[in-house]
C-alpha cells in the first residue's frame, strides 16, 4: 500500500500517515529526548527514534514543511528549530526517502486555512472526526498540521 506522510518538523511537530484513499493511519508525535543544554533540560528531536519510525514507512511519499526563521524568535530557539529540520531531512535522506518540500503558505492556501493554528486543528477534526482525540488540545496543532500537510500531498499527487 502506498502511504503519504506529512511532517511538521520541530520538537513539538508530528508525522502523519495517510492511505491513498485519505484514511488517517497514524499520527506520531515527533520523537524527542530530553537533553541538558547549558543549565536547562531541553527537548530535542532524536535522530535514532525518528529513523526507527520512518523506516516503518519506507517507500512512502513524503511532504515536509519547509521552514525558515520567524520574526521575534530568539537566536537559540531558532538554532534548535533549524537543527530539528536538518535532522528530519537527514534521516529521510539516509533512509532513501524522497522529500517533497512545501512552504506553509502553499499548503495552507490549498487547504483553505488562514495563518492561525486553531484553524488547522478545526480543519483536521472536520476531516478526520474519528481522530478528534488527536487534535483536542491547543498543543496538538503540530499533529493537525502534519495531517493537513499529508492531505495536501495526497491531493497534489491526484491532481
C-alpha span between 70 and 137 (Å, rounded): 23
Q: Are 15 and 53 in contact (CB under 8 A)?
A: yes
Mean pLDDT of 36-51: 89
The residues facing 36 across adjacent strands are: 41
Q: 3-158: which CATH number, 3.30.565.60, 3.30.70.600, 3.30.420.10, 3.40.1010.10?
A: 3.30.420.10
Domain ranges of the chain: 3-158
Q: What's the pLDDT tens digit per position in 81-137?
A: 888 899 999 999 999 999 999 999 999 999 999 766 679 999 999 999 999 999 999
In this structure, of 15-29, 104-118, 123-137, 140-154, the range with the lowest mean pLDDT score is 104-118
Amino acid at each position: 500500500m502506498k502511504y503519504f506522510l506529512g511532517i511538521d518538523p520541530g520538537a513539538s511537530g508530528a508525522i502523519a500517515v495517510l492511505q491513498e484513499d485519505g484514511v488517517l493511519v497514524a499520527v506520531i508525535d515527533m520523537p524527542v529526548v530530553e537533553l541538558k543544554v547549558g543549565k536547562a533540560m531541553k527537548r530535542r528531536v532524536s535522530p535514532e527514534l525518528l529513523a526507527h519510525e520512518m523506516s516503518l514507512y519506507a517507500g512512502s511519499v513524503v511532504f515536509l514543511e519547509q521552514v525558515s526563521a520567524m520574526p521575534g524568535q530568539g537566536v537559540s530557539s531558532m538554532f534548535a528549530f533549524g537543527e530539528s529540520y536538518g535532522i528530519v531531512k537527514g534521516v529521510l535522506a539516509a533512509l532513501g526517502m524522497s522529500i517533497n518540500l512545501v512552504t506553509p503558505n502553499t499548503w495552507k492556501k490549498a487547504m483553505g486555512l488562514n495563518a492561525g493554528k486553531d484553524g488547522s486543528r478545526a480543519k483536521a477534526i472536520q476531516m478526520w472526526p474519528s481522530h478528534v482525540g488527536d487534535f483536542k488540545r491547543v498543543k496538538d496543532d503540530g499533529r493537525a498540521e502534519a495531517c493537513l500537510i499529508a492531505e495536501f500531498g495526497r491531493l497534489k499527487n491526484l491532481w
